[in-house]
Chain A
Amino acid sequence: KNQVEQSPQSLIILEGKNCTLQCNYTVSPFSNLRWYKQDTGRGPVSLTIMTFSENTKSNGRYTATLDADTKQSSLHITASQLSDSASYICVVTHGSSNTGKLIFGQGTTLQVKP
């Protein structure tokens, strides 16, 4: 079954600290993996997109890694800010990058406290 599992379900950290969110998937065939940030009351916004041949991709303080062999990805947030408080959703494309279906994880809710 094609699934995307994220951990932890929720996380609370202090402002300025780093954190790492995990994503494991069993999707096959797989073409790409995305991390989205969803602020409360808003739609998801893309942070990174990686194909199966990419190991890492950065977007500012966000760095995503991908191990296609073990089917694991992580999102590392450096020097967290209050504005990082949001849900982070891992999404894997099942099939081709143009027409494949997106398989969504349940998300990790991050709360950054001052």
Chain B
Amino acid sequence: DAGVIQSPRHEVTEMGQEVTLRCKPISGHDYLFWYRQTMMRGLELLIYFNNNVPIDDSGMPEDRFSAKMPNASFSTLKIQPSEPRDSAVYFCASSLTGGLSALNYGYTFGSGTRLTVV
């Protein structure tokens, strides 16, 4: 398995532009998570899905952020309009539920998208 795949790896955009980050979870995983990591705040959960349905989006900072999961193999995180304070590394992670399965395998993170808004 190729693991959790994120694209692009790096994104530089101007303030006010729309940014779309993409994630392909591990096949068969039914939970998908979007995280943001900054030096100041560390890793923060933004939103997570179970079976393609958003379960908890309380971590989404503002209405400028939106996430979708149209099918089990793809999710997007969109920022519109982007601002310099959105600059961070955005991680996608997936996990497999099932009691011990989730405990044993834990979460698998992608390599992240480094976003810079200038």
Residue numbers of A with Cβ under 8 A of B are: 32, 34, 41-46, 49, 51, 89, 97-99, 101-102, 104-107
Q: Among the listed A102, A105, A106, which residue makes an inter-chain contact with B45, where contact means beta carbons less than 8 Å apart? A: A102
Chain A residues within 8 Å of B50, by CB: 99
Residue of A nearest to B10 (CB): A41
- A105 adjacent to B112 (CB under 8 Å): no
- A98 adjacent to B93 (CB under 8 Å): no
Q: Among the listed A46, A99, A104, which residue makes an inter-chain contact with B106, where contact means beta carbons less than 8 Å apart? A: A46
Cβ < 8 Å to A, chain B residues 87-108: 91, 93, 97-99, 102-104, 106-108
Bound complex: CA A101 to CA B31 (Å):
12
Bound complex: CA A105 to CA B43 (Å):
8
A53 to chain B, nearest CB (A): 12
Residue numbers of B with Cβ under 8 A of A are: 4, 42-45, 50, 55-56, 91, 93, 97-99, 102-104, 106-112
Bound complex: CA A51 to CA B106 (Å):
12
Knowing A89-B43, A107-B42, say if A44 contacts B109 (CB, 8 Å): yes
Bound complex: CA A41 to CA B42 (Å):
14
Residue of B nearest to A97 (CB): B103
Q: Can you name 4 extra interface pairs (CB under 8 A) apart from A45-B109, A46-B106, A98-B98? A: A43-B4, A46-B108, A89-B42, A99-B50
